[in-house]
Amino acid sequence: MVKKLKEINEKEIIPGFKGKFVHGEKMTLAFWNIKKGSEIPLHNHIHEQSLFVKKGIFKLEIDNEKKILKENEVIVIPSNIMHSGIAITDCELIDVFSPVREEYTNN
């Protein structure tokens, strides 16, 4: 089924992190709009995660190493690795998670 991104309901997962989600059998695709200064706390999960910066600057700490990610940069976060992040500017990010992020429903 083909959908337009604007037709997918947005959900604020944590303050400042608003996402639209598409789920396949073995993966979740997340389109994020993130407000400048918004933080995702240190965490880990079973999901392998690929993070792409479409717009803005995002500071990621992964396995105790700080990285500044800019537009058109991508990074893979392995399963169960501790990571956190903060939006240095307003950001648009795209994440792919595998397996599916069941908690990211569009309802």
Q: Which letter, b or e, does each residue of 26-52 get, where b requires 16 or more Cβ atoms within 10 Å of its Cβ?
A: ebbbbbbbbeeebebeeeeeebbbebe
**What span, in angstroms and rounded, lies between the C-alpha atoms of 62 and 44?**
10
**What span, in angstroms and rounded, lies between the C-alpha atoms of 21 and 11?**
9
Task: Check the CA dihedral 28-51-53-33 and report its sign.
Answer: positive
Map out the domains of the chain as residue ranges.
27-70+82-88
Q: pLDDT averaged over the chain?
A: 95
pLDDT of residue 106: 58
pLDDT tens digits for range 55-88: 999 999 999 999 999 999 999 999 999 999 999 9
| Alpha-carbon dihedral 78, 80, 86, 91, rounded to 10 degrees | 50
Q: Which helix (H) or strand (E) holds 21?
A: strand 17-23
| Section 82-101 average pLDDT | 97
pLDDT of residue 28: 96
pTM: predicted TM-score of the whole model, two decimal places: 0.93
Lowest mean pLDDT among 33-37, 66-70, 74-78, 98-102: 98-102
